[in-house]
Structure 1
Amino acid sequence: MNLVDMMNDAMATTIPAADKLGVKAVEARRGFAAATVPLKGNGNHFGVVYAGVEFTVAEILGGIIAIASFDAAKYYPLVKKLDIEFTAAARSDLRAEASLDEDELRRIETEAAEKGKADFVLDAVVRDEAGQTVAVTHGLYQLRAHGT
């Protein structure tokens, strides 16, 4: 089983609300995460993707990127704050992406090893099937050592 499949299986039990929305990790590697969510079942009263669904597909990237980039036996991720700006109506399935560069990954890992936790900022972009940006997020996450 590959990393993306393992994450999706884990999401079904650890974050059942995201799983019920149809949020799926589609790419996960050191420094990069992508997730999708379908329009079907996630519309609102005027036929676009519900704002909370857009928030969820973007927010989940902090966990995906942390698990793909750091030792899950030592660390777990959490979100501390997430700001979202909706830039266009979302009328199709969505894909969210975020990345961290290698220098930032090393900083996070070193700080978490030394202090038991490390804050990091993650910016994400949510796009529709045509590639139009429908939302952007700016999140403050934390990588925390188990037992802290």
Structure 2
Amino acid sequence: MKSSIHYDQLQPGEEGRASKLIFKVFDENVAPCFTEEGCSEFKSYATPEALRERVGYGSFIFAARDGEELVGVAEIRSFKHLCLLFVDLAQQGKGIGKELIQMVADRCREAGNSELTVNSSLNSRTFYERFGFIAQDEEQLKNGIRFVPMKYML
């Protein structure tokens, strides 16, 4: 069966929908690993206004859609750092995250970069390892956010 998921760039005006998706997945899967300070810090990073502002300053956001419904987002900064990767809870395990990572990696290669970095949440570490990301250090804690710095050679 052919997938009904379509991938392209997040369109201006969709930041609110993207933020809502990010918050929903974050609250369920990531927030339990963060302190209260970390949750607040992350949520300020993923507001519609913050997403809109970063796109104006060197970030690029990919979107995955099932019809009109936004089901995944991935943000890269300077075509070398994966800042956000979130897939709707009901759509996880269907290859959407994998496709978004591939699109991000392809865009980074096109920009002339030889590696892609990510600060993986603890619960996403094995997901990234399946795609070839390698931990660069032990678990870190910064502003209440727990993560593992990882790198993928393109």
Structure 2 length as normaliser, TM-score? 0.28
Indicate the structure with greater helix content: 2
Structure 1 length as normaliser, TM-score? 0.29
